[in-house]
């Protein structure tokens, strides 16, 4: 219940945060909403020497349109995303995903950047940002770089963030044309984490055939991933029952599914298949 | 918890075996191993600072090599205790000469206790797999060098990157 | 090293020096002696510690007091205004939404947030809104009815 | 004032403080200079302790003391109050010194100036262990696994056979028999407030006050006094607000005695508040049985015999009632049915786990579950409707008191009435029709029926380890305020309200003039506590009878003051009046209260004015009794009465629960369509409180049936160590409950109440499991073990 001692800094700017982090890249941790880190600290599984609280950098919390992109600041809370009218209009997958994270208290304080940087294997955001093909903007002592979501999630709780780097922004290409979306999840009855979570971004041709399907999967493997097998199987199809049934089978291709007390690996795969289908059907049904 | 799998290393079996019984190499390959001191024949005192993401712990304990049958088999037995609990494990490693290197088949049993056991339920298996992968990836890099050459650099992050690129290659190979 | 914090709790301005690791819930309970906010788990799952931080329901066990520096906190003790119970408090009393009372402060604060954002929630929306709060006594049915009562009551006034 | 509170939905008097956050639980009690305790606990399930090095911890900032097992050897053993023949009782010390027997076993107590420093120092205590082989499976433990307590030679704590009737003959003569192995998952009670103790020793007075989150303040006082060697009358136990117990606080724990002892050593207040992880590790668990149920029956469905052979997983040590819990299972194996021969064979075994003990229902849910599962198996075997098989075996209302082959006499009941009512509310016939239709369309819908009976109002002292009575003192203060002191120690059940309802009706006073006090051994006469659905049936009865005693005295005083023979004075609506005829001849007077008590000037007691009055309120009498100027001869001043109620029998509430579920055949997900419960808990004092008890109980059943399970791995590590993995039901997991009641008064107590605290937990589990199994009947399923998770269901659907 009680964390080990640490030092605390609340820089006013991101630059300050980067230089603080550079002072001790191993012992320092970035604190955003704290909803992944603080529970681990209370169990003393994480004992950082220094917490750099970026929650006070006001300029890091935003949702805005810029050209054909949606820019989301790292410390934007789940609730801000859930309740954003702009996003409901132009990128409804994000609010839908946000709504299924944890509970209202967690959504009020937890941040999208914290969640993505922590890369919990059962976190919700990784699935959504993968499905939306997001770019993640990382800033470090040597400047800024952009990493594709697909390359960002490396392994269990392990990302492309180099020591000393901070996730600053999530950039998403504004969905255009005829698109549908869905995030469907089996929450663990105790923790609320995704046993399986499927995010779908679906683009249709004028004849209602599938132009492109992007599917982010969380909960199934040690890290979130794009279900390329499903995506490839759907491309060009009419998205009818048979096409979806044929495609859903590929959702666990190439991954070694997790197995735990609640769900064995083959049951998890079954859930992934079923929820892939349900998410696809839901996405198809809400195409504008 | 059972842990098993196979790894393909691009090095000759004898070389891989040498690496496995070389404490200096082992120290570099075991993720987070800060100290590996010989205390008796094939027995070492070890300090391992390891973890995933922000979850970290320090373990002190012993590592032992058993059932040495060069160049085809050995068993590694580890036992450590630390702030987040304890970990114990043993793994049998079988080395086979394969087409372009060595195929290692491992079968082990890992036990954890204390906090990590009671709170880390959904992550333990993933962590163990990840550590095994890191170990064998590093081992592969070590074995790819010749005796007397400087060892490869493979800190935690580099190892992960190397493993990641290897994984990407594998994906492409499959397709 | 201790850090100075300055915040408003239930409308009263507070200044203190705290260890950075001090959890907000311990600051409220042990330093300010506002013991209505409870601790029921250590993994952010029970919601007994819920308070309002700048108008948003948060789990005060998953926040350091230093993070609340400069903020306004409302705890269960500050929910009734001028001695008049908040409609959710009334609902819990009227509908027997509590038994042992331990989860109740967190449950009430969370329910208040729910009604602020959705004045007339459905049963399903109430359950979704209370997903972060555990109760082991009531079986939730009376809690749901209490929130429904409060929604109706607030709608009338 | 003629009151009619009993039977009404009266809002709780407890609530104003609770809903405003102004109530005090143990951790809310702050004393200056309090030291905080944190425990070093074993990370191994079975090991020899070779060394404990406390030097670094002692040197840490803020640390005042560190105690290990050897330091506290003088403290007596943690008590076990169960007396079973040939029971093996391990020497359960408050801190382990040589060996640890389960993960979480306390090894050292660190005392520091604040809770942060205490927690930090725990990490600095170095314990060296030598691991020993572990046994966690109860059957392996029985069959000769590693021996936990070496001196016993094996892990079998006791074996017991109970029951009446010729069981072998019953099975030999049966048309048919069924047998099923059944598992009762180990559960964690998870009271929302973890345990906690604050102890303060007064060196001058040589008195120790302990605030503890317990269900049994007086029993705890007795036991802790014995353990730490303080005279019992120098120890005061206060239970402030208690945040739920469910049996987990019906115990005396190592930490309680230790905190008292530490405070005496240091002469300072010391506090320990359990963390949730400690709560999962080292607060008792419930259930944990595995066994075979066998039933003998005739082709027409008549039950002729029942045998249950069970291994009870007791854990590493006995807590207060550990070995007794499975014996309660044996008592209730007749269920709501006429079964001529019943036998239970219990093998209680030690395992390297935390002790099991009383968790809501305490042994009786296990009985109801196996019996109800057995009835479903009989129905399946016969192809009969499960409700009809039950109906066939009910004793008729005229057969009560009904003697069972487990040796009990059920007090009263009309089981069929409850079944009929539940079926009617559920639309049972229509549901079966819908199910039939649905099956043809591939829908997996299931209906589960449970017609339970439970044993409550624990109980006659002969059957209880530490007395089964309950006490009450009722006192009317000079100002007319009524104080009720109850030895029961409610913690959320609402007896401050329901006892006030009883008192208000019986005394004819305003309910707001009544204060119910409990949970302070310095204030309240000795009592037993709140558990076993006893507080109202036993404790409420004590209040009721104490009031009658008080009124007898008041009547005498009233007669004296009214200058009439006591036999001519009647009591109604809070007033003693001369009988109508006598009143007519008496001087005319007002029947209004003669002393406007509430308007008395501050600091002065009004003088009772009785001259010429024909009636007096009981509050007038109270004042006169305290002034003692106008009392009949040989009458003690004051107006209070104490009563210790000894129940002659248990009570036997009953009811019917019907659960309707539908299963998603692709995911195995289980959804409730309906939940109907008709409970009969005898006379109802406050229907709102009764509903609340039933709701809460059913949801704990939902937890056991579908979500909850304490899981240890083979090495004895607790893998469900937090609420991240141990799933307590949330609001989204529950159906909309449709409750109703029948009301069959109990003849056992004058209130006619039976108790309802555990009914939901006892009656609901088999209905839920029955419904799930029924949904899966097309796959040939007859039983599934709990918790039934979606994966289990999916496996059945997809793999048979």
Nearest residue of chain B to residue D128 (CA atoms): B81
Q: Closest Cα of chain C to D152: distance in Å?
A: 38
**Best D710, D717, D720, D722 residue to mutate vs chain B (most B CBs within 10 Å):** D717
Scan residues 656-685 of D and list those with Cβ closer than 8 Å to A: 666-668
Q: H/E element holding B37?
A: strand B33-40
pLDDT of the residue at A122 = 96
pLDDT of the residue at B130 = 86
Contacts of C64 (CB under 8 A, 6+ apart): A8, A34, A38, A51, C20, C21, C22, C23, C24
Around B126, how many Cα atoms within 13 Å sit in the side-chain half-sphere? 28
Q: Do A37 and B163 touch (CB under 8 A)?
A: no
B111 at interface of D, judged by CB pairs closer than 8 A: yes
D461 at interface of C, judged by CB pairs closer than 8 A: no
- Residues in D closer than 8 angstroms to A264, CB to CB, are 791
CA-CA distance, D534 to B74, in Å (whole number)? Answer: 64
Q: Closest Cα of chain D to C19: distance in Å?
A: 10
pLDDT above 70: percentage of residues in chain D = 96
- Residues in B closer than 8 angstroms to D722, CB to CB, are 118-119
CA-CA distance, B136 to B28, in Å (whole number)? Answer: 11
CA-CA distance, C47 to C134, in Å (whole number)? Answer: 7
Checking if the pLDDT of D54 tops 60, the result is yes
Q: Cα D392 from chain centroid?
A: 32
pLDDT of the residue at D465 = 83
**Which three-class secondary structure state does DSSP give residue D402?**
strand
The whole-number average pLDDT for the span D277-297 is 98
- Among D197, D252, D196, D202, smallest CA distance to D225 is for D252
Select the residue of B121, B129, B130 nearest A261 (Cβ to Cβ).
B121
Q: Do D795 and A267 touch (CB under 8 A)?
A: yes
Select the residue of C26, C29, C141 nearest D695 (Cβ to Cβ).
C141
- pLDDT, tens digit only, all 288 positions of chain A: 999 999 999 999 999 999 999 999 889 999 999 999 999 999 999 999 999 999 999 999 999 999 999 999 999 999 999 999 999 999 999 999 999 999 999 999 999 999 999 999 999 999 999 999 999 999 999 999 999 999 999 999 999 999 999 999 999 999 999 999 999 999 999 999 999 999 999 999 999 999 999 999 999 999 999 999 999 999 999 999 999 999 999 999 999 999 999 999 999 999 999 999 999 999 999 998
D782 at interface of A, judged by CB pairs closer than 8 A: no
Answer whether the bond into residue D258 is a cis peptide, omega within 30°: no
Nearest residue of chain C to residue D18 (CA atoms): C101
Q: Do D280 and B122 touch (CB under 8 A)?
A: no
**Best C4, C18, C19, C21 residue to mutate vs chain A (most A CBs within 10 Å):** C21
Checking if the pLDDT of D605 tops 70, the result is no
Q: Mean pLDDT of residues grouped by 10 in chain B (175 residues)? A: 89 93 91 91 91 86 94 93 87 92 92 87 83 90 81 56 49 43
pLDDT tens-digit series, residues D384-432:
999 999 999 999 999 999 999 999 999 999 999 999 999 999 999 999 9
Mean pLDDT (chain D, rounded): 95
Counted across chains C and D, CB pairs separated by less than 8 A come out at: 180
Scan residues 174-213 of D and list those with Cβ closer than 8 Å to B: none
DSSP A39-53: HHHHTTS---SEEEE
- Cβ proximity of D465 and D324 under 8 Å: yes
pLDDT of the residue at D613 = 76
- Residues in C closer than 8 angstroms to D23, CB to CB, are 36, 101
Around D763, how many Cα atoms within 13 Å sit in the side-chain half-sphere? 39
pLDDT tens-digit series, residues D153-174:
999 999 999 999 999 999 999 9
D537 at interface of C, judged by CB pairs closer than 8 A: no
- Among D765, D775, D780, D781, smallest CA distance to D371 is for D765
**Best C3, C20, C42 residue to mutate vs chain A (most A CBs within 10 Å):** C20
- Residues in A closer than 8 angstroms to D711, CB to CB, are 261
Select the residue of A1, A53, A105 nearest C58 (Cβ to Cβ).
A105
pTM higher than the cut 0.90 = yes
CA-CA distance, B35 to A265, in Å (whole number)? Answer: 36
Q: Do A53 and C67 touch (CB under 8 A)?
A: yes
Neighboring chains of A (3 or more beta-carbon pairs < 8 A) = B, C, D
Select the residue of D27, D724, D730 nearest C131 (Cβ to Cβ).
D730
- Residues in D closer than 8 angstroms to B121, CB to CB, are 719-721, 724-725
- Range with the lowest mean pLDDT among B143-152, D104-113, D557-566? B143-152
Checking if the pLDDT of D38 tops 80, the result is yes
pLDDT tens-digit series, residues A6-23:
999 999 999 999 999 999
- Exposed e or buried b per residue across D240-273, where buried means at least 16 C-beta atoms within 10 angstroms of its C-beta: bbbbbbbbbbbbbbbbbbbbbbbbbeeebbbbbb
CB pairs under 8 A, 24+ apart, for D627-631? D627/D478, D630/D560, D630/D561, D631/D557, D631/D560
pLDDT of the residue at B157 = 47
pLDDT tens-digit series, residues A126-167:
999 999 999 999 999 999 999 999 999 999 999 999 999 999
pLDDT of the residue at A193 = 96
Give bridge partners of residue D739 from the DSSP assignment. D677
Select the residue of B126, B133, B164 nearest A121 (Cβ to Cβ).
B126
A285 at interface of B, judged by CB pairs closer than 8 A: no
Task: Indicate the pLDDT class of residue D602, thresholds 50, 70 and 90.
Answer: low
Question: Which two three-digit tokens encode residue D292?
Answer: 């075979």
pLDDT of the residue at B169 = 47
- Residues in C closer than 8 angstroms to D494, CB to CB, are 99
CB pairs under 8 A, 24+ apart, for D72-77? D72/D109, D72/D258, D72/D261, D73/D97, D74/D229, D75/D227, D75/D228, D75/D257, D75/D258, D75/D261, D76/D226, D76/D227, D76/D228, D76/D229, D76/D257, D77/D227
Neighboring chains of D (3 or more beta-carbon pairs < 8 A) = A, B, C
Q: Do D723 and A190 touch (CB under 8 A)?
A: yes
Nearest residue of chain B to residue A258 (CA atoms): B126
Task: Indicate the pLDDT class of residue D677, thresholds 50, 70 and 90.
Answer: very high
- Among C5, C27, C61, C38, smallest CA distance to C108 is for C38
- Residues in A closer than 8 angstroms to C46, CB to CB, are none
Q: Closest Cα of chain D to A271: distance in Å?
A: 6
Scan residues 277-296 of D and list those with Cβ closer than 8 Å to C: 277
Task: Indicate the pLDDT class of residue D592, thresholds 50, 70 and 90.
Answer: very low
Select the residue of A44, A156, A261 nearest B83 (Cβ to Cβ).
A44
Q: H/E element holding D103?
A: none
Question: Which two three-digit tokens encode residue A196?
Answer: 């399986």
pLDDT of the residue at D599 = 47
Contacts of D19 (CB under 8 A, 6+ apart): C76, C85, C89, C92, C93, C98, C101, C104, C105, C108
Q: Closest Cα of chain A to D669: distance in Å?
A: 10
pLDDT of the residue at B154 = 55
Select the residue of A31, A109, A190 nearest C58 (Cβ to Cβ).
A109
Q: Closest Cα of chain C to D346: distance in Å?
A: 31
- Cβ proximity of D272 and D37 under 8 Å: yes
Select the residue of A43, A222, A262 nearest B119 (Cβ to Cβ).
A43
pLDDT of the residue at D654 = 98
- Residues in B closer than 8 angstroms to D281, CB to CB, are 118
A259 at interface of B, judged by CB pairs closer than 8 A: yes
Question: Which two three-digit tokens encode residue B165?
Answer: 């690129």
**Best A104, A107, A111, A120 residue to mutate vs chain C (most C CBs within 10 Å):** A104
- Residues in D closer than 8 angstroms to A100, CB to CB, are none
Q: Do C44 and A43 touch (CB under 8 A)?
A: no
pLDDT of the residue at A145 = 98
Contacts of D22 (CB under 8 A, 6+ apart): C36, C77
Q: Closest Cα of chain B to A64: distance in Å?
A: 30
């Amino acid at each position: 219940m009680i964390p080990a001692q640490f030092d605390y800094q609340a820089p006013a700017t991101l630059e300050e945060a980067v230089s603080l982090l550079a002072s001790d890249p191993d012992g320092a941790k970035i604190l955003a909403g704290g909803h992944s880190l603080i529970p681990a600290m209370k169990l003393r599984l994480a004992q950082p020497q220094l917490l750099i609280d970026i929650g006070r950098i006001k300029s890091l919390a935003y949702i805005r349109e810029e050209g054909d992109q949606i820019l989301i600041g790292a410390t934007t809370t789940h609730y801000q995303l859930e309740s954003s009218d702009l996003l409901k209009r132009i990128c409804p997958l994000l609010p839908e995903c946000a709504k299924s994270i944890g509970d209202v208290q967690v959504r009020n304080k937890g941040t999208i950047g914290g969640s993505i940087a922590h890369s919990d294997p059962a976190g919700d955001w990784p699935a959504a940002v993968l499905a939306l093909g997001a770019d993640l903007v990382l800033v470090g002592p040597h400047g800024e770089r952009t990493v594709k979501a697909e390359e960002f999630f490396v392994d269990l709780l392990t990302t492309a963030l180099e020591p000393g780097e901070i996730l600053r922004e999530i950039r998403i290409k504004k969905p255009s044309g005829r698109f549908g979306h869905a995030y469907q999840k089996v929450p663990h009855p105790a923790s609320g984490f995704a046993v399986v979570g499927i995010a779908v971004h679906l683009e249709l041709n004028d004849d209602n055939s599938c132009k492109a399907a992007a599917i982010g999967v969380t909960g199934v493997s040690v890290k979130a991933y794009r279900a390329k097998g499903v995506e490839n199987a759907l491309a060009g199809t009419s998205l009818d029952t048979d096409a979806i049934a044929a495609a859903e089978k590929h959702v666990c291709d190439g991954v070694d599914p997790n197995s735990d007390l609640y769900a064995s690996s083959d049951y998890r795969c079954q859930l992934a298949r079923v929820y892939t289908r349900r998410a696809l059907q839901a996405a198809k049904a809400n195409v504008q | 918890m059972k842990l098993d799998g196979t790894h393909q290393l691009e090095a000759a079996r004898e070389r891989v075996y040498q690496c496995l019984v070389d404490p200096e190499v082992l120290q570099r390959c075991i993720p987070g191993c800060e100290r590996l001191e010989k205390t008796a024949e094939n027995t070492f005192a070890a300090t391992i600072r390891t973890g995933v993401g922000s979850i970290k712990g320090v373990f002190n304990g012993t590592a032992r090599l058993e059932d040495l049958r060069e160049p085809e088999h050995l068993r590694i037995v580890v036992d450590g205790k630390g702030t987040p609990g304890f970990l114990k494990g043993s793994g049998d490693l079988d080395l086979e000469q394969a087409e372009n290197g060595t195929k290692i088949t491992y079968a082990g049993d890992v036990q954890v206790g204390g906090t990590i056991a009671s709170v880390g339920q959904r992550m333990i298996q993933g962590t163990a797999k990840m550590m095994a992968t890191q170990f064998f990836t590093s081992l592969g890099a070590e074995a790819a060098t010749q005796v007397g050459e400087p060892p490869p650099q493979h800190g935690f992050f580099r190892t992960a990157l190397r493993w990641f690129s290897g994984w990407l290659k594998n994906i492409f190979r499959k397709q | 090293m201790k850090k100075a914090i300055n915040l408003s709790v239930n409308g009263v301005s507070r200044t203190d020096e705290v260890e950075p690791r001090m959890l907000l819930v311990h600051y409220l309970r042990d330093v300010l002696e506002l013991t209505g906010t409870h601790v029921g788990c250590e993994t952010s799952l029970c919601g007994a510690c819920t308070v309002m931080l700048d108008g948003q329901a948060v789990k005060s066990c998953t926040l350091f007091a230093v993070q609340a520096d400069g903020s306004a906190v409302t705890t269960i003790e500050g929910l009734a205004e001028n001695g008049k119970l908040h409609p959710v408090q009334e609902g819990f009393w009227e509908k027997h939404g509590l038994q042992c009372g331990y989860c109740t402060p967190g449950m009430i604060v969370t329910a208040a947030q729910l009604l602020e954002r959705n004045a007339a929630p459905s049963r399903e929306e109430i359950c979704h809104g209370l997903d972060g709060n555990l109760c082991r006594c009531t079986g939730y049915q009376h809690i749901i009815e209490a929130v429904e009562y409060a929604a109706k009551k607030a709608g009338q006034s | 004032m003629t009151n009619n509170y009993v039977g009404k939905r009266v809002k709780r008097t407890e609530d104003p403080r609770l809903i405003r956050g102004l109530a005090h639980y143990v951790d809310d009690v702050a004393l200056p200079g309090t030291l905080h305790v944190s425990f070093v606990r074993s990370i191994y399930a079975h090991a020899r302790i070779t060394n404990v090095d406390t030097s670094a911890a002692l040197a840490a900032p803020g640390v005042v003391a560190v105690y290990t097992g050897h330091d506290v050897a003088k403290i007596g053993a943690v008590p076990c109050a169960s007396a079973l023949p040939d029971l093996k009782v391990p020497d359960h010390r408050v801190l382990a010194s040589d060996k640890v027997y389960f993960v979480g076993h306390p090894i050292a107590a660190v005392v520091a100036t604040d809770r942060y420093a205490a927690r930090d120092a725990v990490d600095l205590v170095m314990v060296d262990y030598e691991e020993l082989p572990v046994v966690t499976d109860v059957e392996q433990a029985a069959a000769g696994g590693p021996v936990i307590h070496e001196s016993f030679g094996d892990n079998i704590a006791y074996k017991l056979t109970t029951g009446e009737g010729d069981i072998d003959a019953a099975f030999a003569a049966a048309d048919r028999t069924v047998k099923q192995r059944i598992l009762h998952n180990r559960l964690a009670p998870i009271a929302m407030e973890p345990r906690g103790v604050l102890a303060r020793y007064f060196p001058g007075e040589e008195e120790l006050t302990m605030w503890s989150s317990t269900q049994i303040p007086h029993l705890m006082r007795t036991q802790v006094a014995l353990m730490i060697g303080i005279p019992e009358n120098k120890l005061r136990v206060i239970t402030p607000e208690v945040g739920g117990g469910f049996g987990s606080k019906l115990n005396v724990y190592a930490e309680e005695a230790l905190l008292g002892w530490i405070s005496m050593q240091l002469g300072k207040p010391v506090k320990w508040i359990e963390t949730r992880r400690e709560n999962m590790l080292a607060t008792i668990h419930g259930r944990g049985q595995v066994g075979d149920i066998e039933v003998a029956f005739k082709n027409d469905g008549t039950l002729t015999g029942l045998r249950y052979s069970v291994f009870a997983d007791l854990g590493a040590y006995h807590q207060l009632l550990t070995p007794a819990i499975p014996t309660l299972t044996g008592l209730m194996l007749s269920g709501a049915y006429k079964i001529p021969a019943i036998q239970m064979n219990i093998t209680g075994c030690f395992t390297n786990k935390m002790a099991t003990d009383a968790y809501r229902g305490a042994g009786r849910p296990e009985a109801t579950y196996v019996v109800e599962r057995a009835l479903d198996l009989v129905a399946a075997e016969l192809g009969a409707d499960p409700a009809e098989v039950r109906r066939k075996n009910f004793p008729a209302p005229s057969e009560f008191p009904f003697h069972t082959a487990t040796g009990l006499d059920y007090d009263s009941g009309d089981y069929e009435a409850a079944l009929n009512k539940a079926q009617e509310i559920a639309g049972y016939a229509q549901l079966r029709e819908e199910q039939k239709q649905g099956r043809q369309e591939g829908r997996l819908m299931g209906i589960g029926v449970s017609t339970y009976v439970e044993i409550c109002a624990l109980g006659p002292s002969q059957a209880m380890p530490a007395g089964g009575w309950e006490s009450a003192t009722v006192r009317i203060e000079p100002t007319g305020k009524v104080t009720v002191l109850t030895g029961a120690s409610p913690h959320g059940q609402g007896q401050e309200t329901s006892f006030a309802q009883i008192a208000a009706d019986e005394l004819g006073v305003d309910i707001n003039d009544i204060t119910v006090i409990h949970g302070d051994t310095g204030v309240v006469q000795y009592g037993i506590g709140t558990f076993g659905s006893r507080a109202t049936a036993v404790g409420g009865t004590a209040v009721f009878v104490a009031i009658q005693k008080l009124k007898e005295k008041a009547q005498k005083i009233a007669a004296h003051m009214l200058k009439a023979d006591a036999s001519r004075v009647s009591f109604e609506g809070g007033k003693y009046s001369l009988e109508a005829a006598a009143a007519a001849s008496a001087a005319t007077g007002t029947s209004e209260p003669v002393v406007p008590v509430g308007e008395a000037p501050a600091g002065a007691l009004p003088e009772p004015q009785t001259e010429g009055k024909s009636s007096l309120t009981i509050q007038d009498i109270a004042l006169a009794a305290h002034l003692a100027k106008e009392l009949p001869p040989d009458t003690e001043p004051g107006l209070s009465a104490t009563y210790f109620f000894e129940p002659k029998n248990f009570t036997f509430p009953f009811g019917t629960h019907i659960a309707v579920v539908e299963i998603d055949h692709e995911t195995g997900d289980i959804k409730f369509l309906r939940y109907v419960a008709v409970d009969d808990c005898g006379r109802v004092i406050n229907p709102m409180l009764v509903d609340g008890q039933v709701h809460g109980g059913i949801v704990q059943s939902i937890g056991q049936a579908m979500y909850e399970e304490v899981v240890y791995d083979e090495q004895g590590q607790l893998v469900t160590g937090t609420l991240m993995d141990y799933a307590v039901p949330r609001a989204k997991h529950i159906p909309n409950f449709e409750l109703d009641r029948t009301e069959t008064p109990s003849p056992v107590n004058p209130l006619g109440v039976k108790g309802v605290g555990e009914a939901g937990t006892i009656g609901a589990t088999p209905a839920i499991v029955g419904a799930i199994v029924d949904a899966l009947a097309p796959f040939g399923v007859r039983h599934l073990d709990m918790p039934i998770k979606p994966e289990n269901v999916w496996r059945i659907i997809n793999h048979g």
